[in-house]
Structure 1
Amino acid sequence: MIGPLFYPFILVAGALQAIGVTMNAALRGALVNPWLAAAVSFLPIVFVFVAMLAIRPVPLPTRDDLAGMPWWAPLGGIAGAVAVFGGLLFVDKVGAGAFNGLLITANLLTSLAIDHFGWLGMPKHRAGKARIAGAGLMVAGIVLIAAF
């Protein structure tokens, strides 16, 4: 059981993602070089997680854990970095609403496919009519946000 703060935490994380993309655009504007801005943006993240590992070093993986890990598992950070870099480059050009709407809609559509087909080791959750209708509403919403 995850507890009562599960959904509020996700909502706060989503709000912070929208704020972070905007902050990163300002960082890129100030530092000019988007690669430098991306590196500066990730430095505090690395510091926080290394500090947390130092404070709470257990559990650590066993050799069996590492041997059983899919080859692609460590690439999740790079996947997230693409979204951060996209924000660095484009949020001020298309607007925070359109950028985050496109990002979240693409995330949702991909997530529905991952759930439906059980890709990347996820349990299968059928993409029924209601889920597909919800995705269609997201697409319609982002079309309205981006167009106006």
Structure 2
Amino acid sequence: MQTIGAAWLYPLILACGALQAWGPPMNGALRQALGNPWLASVVSFLPVVALLGILFLCLPRPMPTAAGVAGMPWWAPLGGVIGAFAVVAGLLFVDRVGAGVFGGLTITANILMSLAIDHFGLLGMPEHGLNLGRVLGGVLMVAGIALVAAF
């Protein structure tokens, strides 16, 4: 369990997670309007790039150091590409399976992969070993999405 000092982050993280549920239906509507899923993906990312570019121009510090860039794992800049898979999947599939099933599947897969990342300390994360509670939580996620998909 994380320290109590970080507890104020939980409502913010929950709000961000709730907002993530809006993305696939919004992107699905964008794909339907534009017809081309690849153009819709580009259009979906343009406001993100613009917003982050403006924030960087307003808040350019700290700048990266040469040592930081040289010591960066080769895979570190690919997080956005990995995130793009979820965006494209939402563009293509959310209207076929529904927002609940799409969100449930992506969140359940995220939890299960996150448990593996934590357990093995992958991608530079500190190790947080599996225990009965974490395994049970993963099993309940799978059971929960099975129920959402079935009904």
Instruction: Specify if TM > 0.5.
Output: yes
The structural deviation recorded for 1:9 is: 1.1
- Counterpart CA distance in 2 for 1:69 and 1:115 is 20
The structural deviation recorded for 1:5 is: 3.6
Match of 1:116 in 2: 119
Which residue, 31, 34, 40 being the options, matches 1:31? 34
- Structure 1 residue runs of 5 or longer lacking an equivalent are none
- Find the residue that maps to 1:59 and give its secondary structure: coil
Give CA deviations for 1:121-144 in whole Å, capped at 9, x if unaligned: 000001101100010000000001
- Structure 1 residue 142 corresponds to structure 2 residue 123: no
- The runs of at least 4 aligned residues of structure 1 exceeding 2 Å deviation read 1-5
- Find the residue that maps to 1:120 and give its secondary structure: helix
TM-score, normalized by length of structure 1? 0.97
Identity %: 61
Give CA deviations for 1:25-80 in whole Å, capped at 9, x if unaligned: 00000000000000000000000000000000000111000000000000000000
Match of 2:70 in 1: 67
TM-score, normalized by length of structure 2? 0.95
- Structure 1 residue 80 corresponds to structure 2 residue 102: no
- Counterpart CA distance in 1 for 2:8 and 2:47 is 25
Match of 1:52 in 2: 55
Give CA deviations for 1:64-99 in whole Å, capped at 9, x if unaligned: 000000000000000000000000000000000000
The RMSD of aligned alpha carbons is 1.1
- Find the residue that maps to 2:22 and give its secondary structure: helix
The alignment covers a number of residue pairs equal to 148
- Structure 2 residue runs of 5 or longer lacking an equivalent are none
- Counterpart CA distance in 2 for 1:9 and 1:29 is 31
